[in-house]
Amino acid sequence: MALLGINVIIENSFWSKIERKEYKAFYGSKGIPSELHYIDTPQEQRTKNIKKRNKEIANGLNFFLVQEESDINHFFEEPSKKEADVWVKWLC
């Protein structure tokens, strides 16, 4: 779709700086511009999201289990403000 000039949103979480860099390079090599949008979410909200997601797994509505919030903190590398094209601060 992107090659047809249609905007496409890829929600892949992009947990690591390397993964984000690889995606940018992949699409850039095909002449497809890309932007990284990051929502800066407070720790308390992330905890609520994890608990909700884990309940969804129990009901068969999701497939990504996070045992502990430390799993997220261990694997996730927050993008720098230079790396993100759009940086949004969570307001709710």
Residue 18 and residue 5: Cα distance in Å, rounded?
A: 26
Residue type, 86: V
Q: Which residues contact 9 (CB under 8 A, 6 or more apart)?
A: none
Share of the chain above pLDDT 90, in %: 34
DSSP state of 4: G
On whether the pTM is more than 0.85, the answer is no
Distance CA 82, CA 54 (A): 32
Is residue 65 pLDDT above 60, yes or no?
no
Mean residue pLDDT of the chain comes to 82
Judged by average pLDDT, the poorest of 33-37, 38-42, 71-75 is 71-75
The confidence score (pLDDT) of residue 35 equals: 92
Type and span of the H or E element at 70 = helix 69-75
Six-digit token string for 9: 């949103």
Tell me which of 6 and 2 has the higher pLDDT. Answer: 6
